[in-house]
């Protein structure tokens, strides 16, 4: 199946009203999906016999400061058996940065969603352990947002023993 064929098949594969558009950019199929049903749409793409996107290769966020909606969560999917790819984008408004988690579909999303939360402030509903992954727990703000102040000072925190793990997994 070519990338153009994949785009043509999406309306039949995805749940009704999920698909908000699609395009072919430099040979890459890109689908725009409503964030409210992103989990259902990605599950359909994973489970459908024509697509079988069994691997989430990347999940990231793009900040379009000054545009509404401000953020896009981007999912890069790959089918091992069919050797095809699909990029799926979901627009997320700044006022309500909430997206359903896909960590129950692909374990690869567990850390990627935590990174998206830590760096951009996008919350993932249903994530089993959404907490900071790169910044320390007391860090204020989300440093990869384009409006994050370059010279912002963070609160001072006590020096920690590097072997101590105050952020160990929750029971």
Q: Convert the pLDDT of each residue in 14-70 to its tens digit.
A: 988 899 999 999 999 999 999 999 999 999 999 999 999 999 999 999 999 999 999
pLDDT at 133 > cutoff 50: yes
User: What are the C-alpha distances in Å from 71 to residues 61, 143, 144?
Assistant: 7, 14, 12
Among 89-93, 105-109, 120-124, 148-152, the range scoring the smallest mean pLDDT is 148-152
Tell me which CATH homologous superfamily contains domain 3-102. NADH:ubiquinone oxidoreductase Nqo5 subunit (3.30.460.80)
Least confident of 4-18, 67-81, 150-164: 150-164
Do 76 and 59 meet the contact criterion of CB atoms below 8 Å apart? Answer: yes
- Band (pLDDT 50/70/90 cuts) for residue 170 is low
Q: What is the pLDDT of residue 59?
A: 99
Task: Give the H/E segment covering residue 29.
Answer: strand 28-33
Looking at per-residue pLDDT, the higher value among 151 and 121 belongs to 121
Using CA atoms, how far apart are residues 14 and 6, in angstroms rounded to an integer?
A: 12
Minimal CA–CA distance to 104: which of 47, 20, 164?
A: 47
pLDDT at residue number 169: 59
| Range in 8-12, 47-51, 52-56, 138-142 the model is least confident about | 138-142
- pLDDT tier at 171 (50, 70, 90 boundaries)? very low
Q: Which of 61, 79, 81, 80 is nearest to 71 (CA)?
A: 61
């Amino acid at each position: 199946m070519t990338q153009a064929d994949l785009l043509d098949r999406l309306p039949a594969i995805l749940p009704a009203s999920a698909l908000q558009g699609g395009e072919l950019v430099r040979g890459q199929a890109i689908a725009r999906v409503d964030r409210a049903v992103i989990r259902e749409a990605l599950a359909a793409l994973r489970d459908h016999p024509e697509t079988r996107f069994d691997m989430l290769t990347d999940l990231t966020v793009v900040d379009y400061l000054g545009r509404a909606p401000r953020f896009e969560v981007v999912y890069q999917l790959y089918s091992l058996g069919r050797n095809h790819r699909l990029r799926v984008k979901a627009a997320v408004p700044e006022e309500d940065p909430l997206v359903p988690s896909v960590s129950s579909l692909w374990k690869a999303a567990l850390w990627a969603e935590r990174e998206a939360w830590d760096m951009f402030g996008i919350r993932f509903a249903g994530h089993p352990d959404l907490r900071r992954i790169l910044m320390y727990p007391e860090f204020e703000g989300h440093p990869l947002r384009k409006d994050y102040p370059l010279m912002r000072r963070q609160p001072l925190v006590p020096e920690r023993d590097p072997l101590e793990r105050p952020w160990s997994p929750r029971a």
